[in-house]
Structure 1
Amino acid sequence: MRLHHLAFALTLATACTVAGAADLLGPGVISTGLQETSAAFSPDGDTVYFMRSDFAEKDDTILVSHRQGAGWSTPQVASFSGQWHDSEPGFSPDGRRLYFVSNRPPRPGQPPVEASLQGRRFAGTHLWYVERQPDGRWGAPVHVAGALNDGAQIYNPSVAANGDVYFSAHRPDSGRFYQIYVAHWTGHGYADPERVALGDLEHNRMDPCVDPQQRFLVYAGDEGDALGRADLYIAFRQPDGRWGKPEHLGGDVNTADLENAPSLGPHFGELYLSSNRQDDVHYPKARDDAASLQKRLAGPLNGSRNLWRVDIAEVLRRHGVTPAGSSPPAR
């Protein structure tokens, strides 16, 4: 989710649905003094794709890192990225596909996708995926067909086990703000997107992260009680199939800073998010020299967006969601 999309968000409130403490992902390796968002883990948890960009988020690239013992390998540009404005990777639950959004031309010879909002033009996005080949490598990027790619503002794809794709977008029925949509997989393609009913249209809602069995949905926005520019909320599927009232996640999930781009980790209750939280500076501080100042200001907690891990297992259990059946069948 882009920072200018969050200009809609308000600032209020209190937390209620409590989660565990937050841990920085790969400090200095994955989480750095640049902008990192949108962690996408392989089903075995040994590989993570994520987005890295400049502070203005005009230069987005998808990187990949592999687990090495207790740490992570030096990230490399993903095989399908590095030329276009690529961002927001998301695995299908079986690991066979990796979805992402990009401004690359939908077809050869066409111009890059461009979007406009409130009189400003910027790199637009369409939904793409790469598919795992028999040799283990990714195939060529595939542009997803269907009405979900109408327009040029589709963000943060999240895929359920049955192939349904959740995403955020600004569409004709979104009102003034961004809303969350789902495009159901029909077996032959994607049906027209439907707006997910989470409340009135006077609140900004982005970056959906859906449980593979669609038992719950985590997203970023402000339902009127956000602590900062955007917080994370969770909604649970009700017995009648509708989504319950969104609940504000507490604990270390949300702060007075920006929280967004949630994604599920490989273990039950693992939630990854992007946040620009940073260490407080207390004065008088220990006197800096040029080297110590440079090291601190270039580090992960310099106000850039980083990737954090939190545990929401107890939140899920209190709502009847258990690990049983959480590993989705292959598509």
Structure 2
Amino acid sequence: MSPRHLILAGVIATALVLPFAALAQGHGELVGPGVISTGLQETSAALTPDGDTLYFMRSDFAERDDTILVSHRENGHWGAPQVASFSGQWHDSEPTLTADGQRLYFVSNRPLQPGGAPVTVNMDGQHFAGTNLWYVQRQPGGLWGAPMRVDGALNDGAMIYNPSVAANGDIYFSAHRPDSGAAYQIYVARHGAQGYAAPQRVDLGDVARNRMDPAIDPQQRFLIYAGNEGDSLGSADLYIAFRQPDGSWGKPLHLPGEINSTALENAPSLGPRFGELYVSSNRRDEMAFPKPHDTAATLQQRLQQPLNGSRNLWRFDIADVLRAHGIDH
């Protein structure tokens, strides 16, 4: 379990994907049950612009063994995931794609130099895999190039999580930095001709509130993130803040409908379609007792299904929320 998950803890072969228009506002769909969403932990969806290739993270329950996988959709079905070409050796997680699909960012504990030691951090006397921000670039022919570490102060401290990239190259992320308070906050590293500027904390209110996992609109008109602004239904819920005419961020709003639950919701990301939102949640099937009498086989089968309390990927439609705030494309 990583430092950020310590804080959060305190506070069938192929599957048909429903047409996006079939999703009622605020109601969700489990992504690829048994294929993408399983009895393990799945988070951090990143889709290509055509919506037919999905990168995501899969890990054990303690999230000490994180790997980035990729699945391709054909005839409305997600295929069996494979380890992404750039992952599988280090603690790699939280993939995100640029809007054009030509660059994929992720965080990793891989050594800064070949042959070096993996990145580590210590927090509250415990030793964890650290995280630096890396990216891979699409090459001619469609393959990914070699991973490259992002230069700049955003990698200071080796505790950077859930990057999200605006169309102009600005990178939003969550981290624990000197001005974060006791928990985590969201930061932005502005992209310029000389590279990335020093990160600035995104002002969303009292830093006593824990805020993580930003998903930035490519045009930076709104920001979705995980946290608790005092009205969370669970340990973390999803909120949206809209950019104001003066450039500041408005008061964060609790997302409506079934997006939030009494379980943990985090790691939001925007899909290629207008209003398409992907979410990680550990919501589970309700248990009623007495349950049907289990055998060892039925017990194992049920405990290995997606809705067993592990984190899974869900898809929602927030188009109405965006339109209500003057965003229609």
Fold conserved between structures, TM > 0.5: yes
| Alignment partner of 1:52 out of 43, 49, 58 | 58
Any gaps of 5 or more consecutive residues in structure 2? 12-23
| Alignment partner of 2:5 out of 3, 6, 26 | 3
1:238-290 superposed Cα distances (whole Å, 9 cap, x missing partner): 00100000001121111010000000011111100100000011122222223
The answer to whether the 8 Å contact 1:219/1:260 transfers is: yes
2:326 paired with 1:314: no
- Which residue of 2 is the match for residue 13 of structure 1? none
- Which residue of 2 is the match for residue 329 of structure 1? none
- Which residue of 1 is the match for residue 21 of structure 2? none
Aligned CA-pair RMSD: 1.3
Aligned-residue offset at 1:117: 1.8
Paired residue secondary structure (1:148): helix
Query: Identity across aligned pairs (percent)?
Result: 70
- Which residue of 2 is the match for residue 62 of structure 1? 68
TM-score normalised per structure 1: 0.93
- Residues 151, 93 of structure 1: CA spacing in aligned structure 2 closer, same or farther, 3 A cutoff? same
| Superposed counterparts of 1:216-231, under 5 Å | 216-231=222-237
2:40 paired with 1:40: no
- Which residue of 1 is the match for residue 304 of structure 2? 298
2:144 paired with 1:138: yes
The answer to whether the 8 Å contact 1:19/1:249 transfers is: no
2:125 paired with 1:125: no
TM-score normalised per structure 2: 0.94
| Superposed counterparts of 1:1-331, under 5 Å | 2-9=4-11, 19-323=25-329
Counterparts of 2:145 and 2:85, CA distance in 1:
9
1:160-209 superposed Cα distances (whole Å, 9 cap, x missing partner): 00000000000111111100000000033101100000001100000000
Paired residue secondary structure (1:150): helix
Aligned-residue offset at 1:43: 0.8
Counterparts of 1:19 and 1:122, CA distance in 2:
39
Counterparts of 2:28 and 2:226, CA distance in 1:
17
Paired residue secondary structure (1:137): coil
Counterparts of 1:20 and 1:120, CA distance in 2:
39
Aligned-residue offset at 1:8: 5.0
Paired residue secondary structure (1:6): helix
Counterparts of 2:228 and 2:301, CA distance in 1:
34
Aligned-residue offset at 1:121: 1.3
- Which residue of 1 is the match for residue 19 of structure 2? none
Counterparts of 1:238 and 1:116, CA distance in 2:
38
Counterparts of 1:131 and 1:207, CA distance in 2:
23
Query: For residue 6 of structure 1, what is the amino acid of its counterpart?
Result: L
Counterparts of 1:133 and 1:187, CA distance in 2:
23
Name the count of aligned residue pairs.
315
Counterparts of 1:156 and 1:59, CA distance in 2:
17
Q: Which has the higher contact order (CA 8 A, sep 6+)?
A: 1
Aligned-residue offset at 1:70: 1.9
Counterparts of 2:28 and 2:234, CA distance in 1:
17
Aligned-residue offset at 1:22: 1.0
Query: For residue 105 of structure 1, what is the amino acid of its counterpart?
Result: P
Aligned-residue offset at 1:20: 1.4
